[in-house]
Structure 1
Amino acid sequence: MAQYSTVLDEVFVALADPTRRAVIHRLGGGPASVGELARDMPMTLPSFMKHVRLLESAELIHTRKSGRVRTCELNRERLSLVDDWLAEQRRIWIGRTDRLERFLAEQSDSTQQDME
């Protein structure tokens, strides 16, 4: 996973903002125009477009323009990198907690034998 470090950094920076996470969440339901995405956001369209550009530069979304309408679509492959990273972290921590559990059980057994 070390080779993905820069990519993951970009993705996590993009996901750090609640507005961008809301966009990702909305796009999980399917493509939407920038106007539709911006409608419920408490900011001006130029400010919202900065969020769209950052998501696009992190490759979390793709946009395409048809006439005057720019449509955004989620890049699920990019999000799968985060899922892979989280799965690896989960495996590491499960292994550590399993070792801790065995250690504590051994300590408990040892303490009980010393008391007998």
Structure 2
Amino acid sequence: MKFDIQNVMQQAKKMQEEVENIKRELANKTVSAESGGGFVTATMTGANKLVSIKIAPELLVQNDVAMMEDLIVAAVNKAIDKAGDLANQDMNRVKNMIPSIPGLNLG
């Protein structure tokens, strides 16, 4: 099998373009996660930007600041994990574009 550097460079350019497309797509996708049985909901973009925090009024009545802080942190951390999973799933499209280079084992 002959190694074609021009083909590899073209593939690299396509991969770079696809990564940029995916980044734009992720910025427009959102994921949400709850904690405390739905008392707190955090929503983030696939690009890890926090969009909103929703707190149920019932939680505010309890006046337990420490619990509220813990629930917010838990919801945000879950949303971060979901956003990361979404990004990994979308980035797998690029992984499948990696050209086969003789002698290079990426697996």
TM-score (norm 1): 0.31
Structure 1 or 2: more strand by fraction = 2
Query: More helix per residue: 1 or 2?
Result: 1
TM-score, normalised to structure 2's length?
Answer: 0.33
